[in-house]
Structure 1
Amino acid sequence: MPAARSWKEVELDLLQMSFRRPGARPQLGAATWIASGITIEEMQIGLAIETQKMGRYPTETQTLEIGRRWIRLQHTIDDFITGAARYLGEDFDEDDGIPDMDIDFIDDEPDANDDDKDSEDDLTPGRNRRVLFQPEWVVIPLPSNLGIERCEELGIGGLVRQEIMLREGQANDMLHAIRVHLADKAVLFRTTVHLAKSQATTTQAWSQVHSVERVINLNSTVYKKCRAQLSNLGVGQLLEKYQELLKSDLKATSAVTDPNARGQRNSTLPWFWSLDVQGDSVSNDWMNESQTWLDRTNQNGEPSWDGHRCYAIRQAQMYRLLAEDARARFVKVNPTFGHN
């Protein structure tokens, strides 16, 4: 079975293929163009979430920061649309019946209060009275937004296939990030929140938890958008693999970090924990062995030595994922990290 690939790996493969087999229409760089569009959608989702959380009465500093991000995003969108004619052909029209932007928010904030949230009207494109300029709701001309029928009319089936491949890589990346941060959240509960002894340490601990929850919220919202776009591209078989993400799937559970905890014997982790999203066979092995371990107890109800081994494998896998995420963050800040 081929290993699951990340978004970057897919883009690199498509880029190499475009050099080897250029089509009749200039396709060189098409994968990068589509990838930039997917990145724009992620930027839009992040900005929409931040705008939503500002509430009805943001400060001047908040408004100014969001305004600057609006401008940067709009410039990026303008550059993307400029390249549309090259890849979509002369028959493409900017007003090509593209539907309105739709973002399926997942709000997993435990301290959220319905009274403090904006009404539906305030979150609808064009209905926010504070601003008229909202590039986070602009729909860009990706094949998934044009629709299969229109793509066939434009003769861009090759772009459709490339976006499908890139979307699959995006889904893998998002699920990987969700797993890492859910594990991080579970570790925080076990090592920080539960051990806090004072009001100050409790507040600090929950601040860390909420920070992780915001990242999980962003990743899960991006995943839901990715899955919706795959549906628009007509790939039902992939939707069987990349299932719908429910709010209940995003709860931290001690079964992730300590399957030996009281009450965890019959716990079942959400579907994406057993999905190989990195091509790492170890990820499936430890899930299977851990389930076996839960059933391996002696007469006293204590885990056997084999059980301890399975538990160690599970713990090692979780912290390996956390280490990979930490390294990725360091490299993003300092590209030379690890090369000395």
Structure 2
Amino acid sequence: MGLGSLVEQEIHLRQGQANDALHELCLALVDKAMIFHTDVQKGGNYKMTTWAWGQISNAEAMVQWHATIYRQCRKQLIALGAGEDILGKLSKLNRADLTVSATIADPNARGHRDNTLAWFWTMDLPWDSAMNDRMSEFNWLRTKVLRDRWEEELELLTLETGWTQKFFLHKEKFWSGRHMEALAVGDTGFACYSARQSQMYRDLAGTLGCTSR
């Protein structure tokens, strides 16, 4: 095998590696955009938002990793003397191309109709259909995780409501007993106070009962 054949083979391998890197880069950018769109912007509390930013950091690390691989492959292709038919498709990757926008997470979002995506989103790669399948699977999994999280939070909220209601009923019973004791010894002032306390906890328990239904 001559030197020319080896160079052509190396060019072919580097081209495939560059396309693979772009494929993985798209998935990483979609992952980052979806986390920002569903978890950061709509985070319900500090703990959830902090977790989401941690996931954003992990996704950004993957974006930079695949971007570095692509840039190295393109650099090698230039050094190997790849033709314009290859380099014309594998454009230079700029920092602005790695910016995540709402257009990636939701192309139909209001106010983003005129936003343009980076050049690699419109590339006609041989495995476009496979990438679409993976992105669909990714969106389904993220939706399922979000639904499971809501169900878990609802279950915890229901349990916490029940625990709090039982505590209020316990306090109502305690103050009702103190009220009866005060009446028995003729302590009118404490009897009035304990009656108010008992009524307050009864009302709180009743309010939680209405809320949980």
**In the alignment, does 2:73 pair up with 1:257?**
no
How has the CA–CA distance of structure 1 residues 187 and 168 changed in structure 2, closer, same or farther, with 3 Å as cutoff? same
The match for 2:135 among 319, 322, 327 is 319
Instruction: Quote how far apart the aligned CAs of 1:275 are.
Output: 0.5
Looking at structure 1, the residues matched to 123 and 39 of structure 2 have their Cα atoms a distance apart, in angstroms, of 29
Shift in CA distance, 241/203, structure 1 to aligned 2, threshold 3 Å: same
Q: Aligned residue for 2:61? A: 214
1:185 touches 1:209 (CA, 8 Å); kept in 2?
yes
The aligned runs of 1:29-48 (5 Å cut-off) are none
One-letter amino acid matched to 1:207: G
1:165 aligns with 2:17: no
Give the counterpart letter for 2:136 in structure 1.
R
- Higher helix fraction (1 or 2): 2
Residues 180 and 321 of structure 1 are in contact (CA less than 8 Å); yes or no, is this contact kept in structure 2? Answer: no
RMSD: 2.1
* 2:186 matches 1:186: no
CA-to-aligned-CA distance 1:180-224 (integer Å, 9 cap, x gap): 111111110111111213222111110000001001101001100
Which residue does the alignment assign to 2:126? 278
1:176 alignment counterpart? 23
List 4+ stretches of structure 1 deviating above 6 A: none
CA contact (8 A) 1:176 1:278 kept: no
- Count of residue correspondences: 138
Q: Distance in 2 between matches of 1:239 and 1:321?
A: 31
Looking at structure 1, the residues matched to 30 and 42 of structure 2 have their Cα atoms a distance apart, in angstroms, of 18
Match of 1:204 among 37, 51, 58: 51
Q: Which residue of 2 aligns with 1:156?
A: 3
Q: What is the percentage of aligned positions where both structures have the same residue?
A: 42
Who is 1:143 aligned against?
A: none
> Distance in 1 between the 2:130 and 2:6 partners?
34
Match of 1:248? 96
How far 1:278 moved relative to its partner? 3.2
> How far is 1:156 from its partner?
1.6
Q: Name the aligned partner's letter for residue 227 of structure 1.
A: R
> Under a length normalisation based on structure 2, what TM-score does the superposition of the two structures give?
0.60
Gaps of 5+ in 1: 1-22, 24-154, 284-315, 324-340
Paired residue for 1:89?
none
Deviations, residues 88-116 of structure 1 (Å, cap 9, x unaligned): xxxxxxxxxxxxxxxxxxxxxxxxxxxxx
Alpha-carbon distance change, 231 to 204 in structure 1, aligned in 2, over 3 angstroms: same
Q: Which has the higher contact order (CA 8 A, sep 6+)?
A: 1
Using the alignment, how far apart are the partners of 2:129 and 2:34 within structure 1?
A: 24
Distance 1:243 1:177, change over 3 A: same
Alignment of 1:10-159 (within 5 A): 23=1, 155-159=2-6
- Counterpart of 2:4 in structure 1: which amino acid? G
